[in-house]
Structure 1
Amino acid sequence: MGNTTGKELDGRIALVAGATRGAGRAIAVALGERGATVYVTGRTTRERVSEVGRSSETIEGTAELVDAAGGRGIAVPADHLEPEQVRAVVERIDADHGRLDILVNDIWGGENLIEFGRKMWEIELDRGLRMLDLGVRSHIITSHFALPLLIRNPGGLVVEVTDGTAESNKGYREQFFYDLTKNAPIRMAFALSHDLKEAAATAVSITPGFLRSEQMLDGFGVTEENWRDGIAKEPTFAISETPALVGRAVASLAADPDRARWNGQSLSSGQLAKEYDFTDTDGSRPDAWGFLARYTTGEKPDPADYR
C-alpha cells in the first residue's frame, strides 16, 4: 500500500501519551493522517516547559500537526506520573466520546539522565530511579486508567514504545537503569496481551531504529536537511530514520483489521515497513536493527544494503 493512506481510522479515538516530540509526535500525526481523533499529552505546553527543557516542542504544536494531517488533534497537559492527572485525561476522553480505541504509551523524557559507561552503584540512585519512573511507572499508571475505557469496545490496540526489540535487548543496553527501563515495556506488552484477550484487544511493543528525532539532530549538531554530516561523528548514524517511520508503523497496525496476529510481540519500525509496504520520508526503508545486529559483532555491513 506504500505511503498512500485513506481514512481507515475515521471515528477512532486515540490517546498518544508523551506526544510532545520525536516518536510520539510522529505517531500522533500518522494516526491523524488516517482520520483519527488524537488526544496528545505531555508536560511541555506553550506556557510551561518540562525538565527536558525543549520549549519549542509542545503538545499544542503536535495537535496542530495532527489537524494539518487530516485528523483532529486535542492537546491535554498531563504529567503521567501523577495518577489524578491521568485519570482526568481519561475521564475527558470518556465524556467527549465514550470510547478509546488506541492507546500509545510513549512517555519518556529521560535522555538527560543517561550516564553510559558507569556501573550501577556509581550512578546517583535518584537519577536511576527517575529513569524508571519516567519510562516504566508512567506507562503503568497510564494503562491502569486508560484500559478500562479501551476494553469497553472490542478490538482495541495498545502500543508500548521502547528502544530495542526483545531480540536486540538480549544483550546489555550499556547501563543498568537504561536496560531495565527499555526492557520493561516489551514485557508489559506481552503481559497485557494476556490480560486483554477477553476484550479482543491487541497489545504490542514497538521500537524505532536509530531515531533521528529533533533532540538527536541537535545532539549531532545537524538538521534534517544535512543529517548525513553526523555520520562522521557516529558511523551508525548512516542507518538512522526519521520519526515518521515509526509513526507510519503504528498507524498501519491500527488500520490493519488483522492486527491481532501481532498480539504480545515485540516489533520494529523497519520490520513493519516491510510488512505493510511503507517507507521513510526519503523513500528508503531503514532496517536499523538488522544492520546493528551485524555491526555490533565487528562486521562492517554497508548501511546502503539496509535502507
Structure 2
Amino acid sequence: METTEQVLKGKVALVAGATRGAGRAMAVELGRAGAVVYATGRTTRERRSEVNRPETIEETAELVTAAGGTGIAVPVDHLVPEQVAALVERIDREQGRLDILVNDVWGGDHLLKFGQKAWEADLRDGLRMIRLSIDAHAITSHCALPLLIRRPGGLLVEITDGTEEANTAHYRELFFLDLAKYGPIRMAWSLSHELREYGGTAVCLSPGFLRSEEMLDHFGVREENWRDAVAKEPHFAIAESPVFVARALVALAADPDRQRWSGKSVFSGDLAKVYGFTDVDGSRPDVAGYFEEVVHGGRAASAEDYR
C-alpha cells in the first residue's frame, strides 16, 4: 500500500517533533494522504535547537503541502506546557478537531555516550534524555488528548526505538537511553486503556534501522548511495528509509479496524506484513527478524533475505 489516494482528507494531525527523520516523513505522508498536518519542533529558519542540524519545521510544512496536504509549521518546545497548550488551542481554533496525534519528540542523540555505567554517566545529560523522550510526550498527551477524544476514533501514536519485546530482550547498553526508549511503549499501553471508552486507539510504533539525515551524515552517504555505508557497517544493509515508518503510520490511520493494535508496540516492518506497503525501493525490510535470527541468533543469512 503506497499512498496514492487521499484516504485521510478532512483529518487533522499533529506531529510533535516533525523537523527531520521519521517525524518529517510521517508529516509528509499524512499530507500525501490528504490530512492537515501541524508540524512542530524547535528548529526554525531563524533558530536552531540544541541538536544543531539544518532541517527546519518550515521545510517540513512545505513538503507536506507539496505532497497534497496542508502543512502548518509551529515552533514549539514540548517540554514547556504553556507552549503545548497554546498549540492545542490554536488547532482547536483553526480546525475544531484533532484526529491523529504523533508523539515523535526526541533530539537526544547528541547526548549518547556508550560504555558508561549509570553512575559514571553525566547525570544532567541522562536526565535530559529522559525529559526529551518521556516528559515531552507526557506533556503533549496531557494537553492534546482532550481535543483528540472530542470525536470518536482518535489515534495516538507514540514513536520510539524498538518494541516492548525487543527492548526487554536486549539491553541498550546505556541506562538512561534504555529508560528513555521504553517510556513511550508503556505510555501507549497505559493510554490505550484510557482512550478505549472514547473509541480511541493508542499504539507505539518504531522504525527499524532508520536512514535518517543524521545517520546518513554519520556514514558519509546520501539516500541515493546509502548502500555504500554497508562496507563500514554491514548491518546497515537492513536499513529502511523514513518513508517506511511513515507509510506504516498512514496505514494505521486509514484502518477502520485499527483498535486491534491498541496498546501494542510494533515495528514498521510488522505493519508492512499486514498492510502490504513497501519502502521507497519496493522492499519490506524486517529488522526484527534480521536481528533476532541473524545478528543474535547466528543464522547464516544476509540482510537481503529479510528485505
Structure 2 distance, partners of 1:207, 1:149, is: 25
- The DSSP-based 3-state class of the residue aligned with 1:238 is helix
Instruction: Look up the match of 2:303.
Output: 303
Q: Hey, which bits of structure 1, 4+ residues long, moved more than 6 A?
A: none
1:131 maps to amino acid: M
User: Structure 1 vs Structure 2: percent identity of aligned residues?
Assistant: 65
User: Counterpart of 1:196 in 2: which secondary structure?
Assistant: helix
Paired residues, what number?
305
Residue pairs, 1:11-90, within 5 angstroms: 11-55=10-54, 57-90=55-88
Give the Å deviation of 1:67.
0.4
Counterpart check, 1:158 vs 2:136: no
**2:138 counterpart SS class:** helix
Within 5 Å, give how 1:73-152 maps onto structure 2.
73-152=71-150
Structure 2 unmatched runs, 5+ = none
Instruction: For 1:121, give the aligned amino acid.
Output: W
Q: Which amino acid aligns with 1:306?
A: Y
Uncovered stretches (5+) of structure 1, i.e. residues with no partner: none
Q: TM-score, normalised by structure 2?
A: 0.98
RMSD: 0.8
Q: Deviations over 1:81-120 (max 9, x none)?
A: 0110000100000000111000000000000001112111
Amino acid of the structure 2 residue aligned with 1:70: G
How far the C-alpha of 1:257 sits from its partner, in A, is: 0.8
Q: Residue 120 of structure 1: SS of its match in structure 2?
A: coil
State the partner residue of 1:265.
Answer: 264
Take 2:183 and 2:108, find their aligned partners in 1: how far apart are those partners? 15
Q: How many angstroms does 1:4 deviate by? A: 4.2
8 Å CA contact 2:3–2:247 kept in 1: the answer is no
Distance 2:122 2:172 in 1: 18
Deviation at 1:174, TM superposition (A): 1.3
TM-score, normalised by the number of residues in structure 1: 0.98
Cα distance in structure 2, aligned partners of 1:76 and 1:163? 25
Kept in 1, the 8 Å contact 2:37–2:69? The answer is yes
How far apart in 2 are the matches of 1:132 and 1:258? 33
Q: Distance in 2 between matches of 1:298 and 1:117?
A: 24
Moved more, 169-178 or 146-155: 169-178
- Say whether the 8 Å CA contact 2:3–2:29 is kept in structure 1: no
Distance 1:12 1:4, change over 3 A: closer
**Which position in structure 1 is the counterpart of 2:225?**
226
| Maintained 8 Å contact 2:189/2:203 | yes
Q: Distance in 1 between matches of 2:136 and 2:299?
A: 38
Task: State the 1:25 CA deviation.
Answer: 0.3
Query: Match for 2:289: what amino acid?
Result: G
Distance 2:128 2:300 in 1: 36
Amino acid paired to 1:153: R
**Counterpart-to-counterpart distance in 2, 1:255 and 1:234:** 36
**1:47-92 Cα deviation digits (max 9, x unpaired):** 010000012x100000000001100000000000011000010000
